[in-house]
Structure 1
């Protein structure tokens, strides 16, 4: 009986120590979920390069690619963001989409004049990551948008 009492006291002391460690500076108790990092696997985001990356304004453009783990497993139902390096829009996001069940995406938009200075933009895809997978960014690709019949981007 004395042995069980000693075990219980050790367990109680350990529990108190753990509880004290989980106290935040504001005095509230943090859950173990908040303290423990979740498992995240590295990802690879591929954005298909066009054979001809020249488009007229108002023309449809499709961003195609895939998202996988480093080991090649496909990542379904993940949000993909297409960004440019131009001055418009301010947040640089020109399109968004979701990967299909095989990790592929096809994001279609109508081209606009995103950079009036030279009609050139560099685009890339981004995956912001989630609880299971780390973020990744694709390579950049150069795109030319001719201003003929093109709607201008408005910030």
Structure 2
């Protein structure tokens, strides 16, 4: 998935439904081959969410103050997909929490270089620059983020209008 939106309530429901389906395969069908097929299907579906799951776990570790553990979850995602900017952004958040702004800024810049049209790293960078007292640079980041948001909204409205025509 390209867009990371965090772990939502329906993600938990999806996993629960998949586990129930597996139990049904074992208990009701009593067919080992079908049960294994169900288990493989569940594993495939869950693997699609592995990035989001690890980023969510990293976020929870940050809230608990367990920054090293949070970094491990981000590194796990980045080993599989070094261009996944949401893992890079989360890693930058960890460095911010660890009071390492230089590393955090480098990571925000890395996320921006990988996807310059995503407003999130621009906003996060602006927040950090503002905390560091670099008002002018922060304002530039915020303006860039706002421009990107506006472009997304323009595209969204354009497609809605085109659908109605």
TM-score, normalised with respect to structure 1: 0.22
Flag the structure with higher helix content.
2
Look at both structures and tell me which one has the larger radius of gyration over its CA atoms. Answer: 1
Q: Which has the higher strand share?
A: 1
Does 1 or 2 have the higher relative contact order (CA < 8 Å, sep 6+)?
1
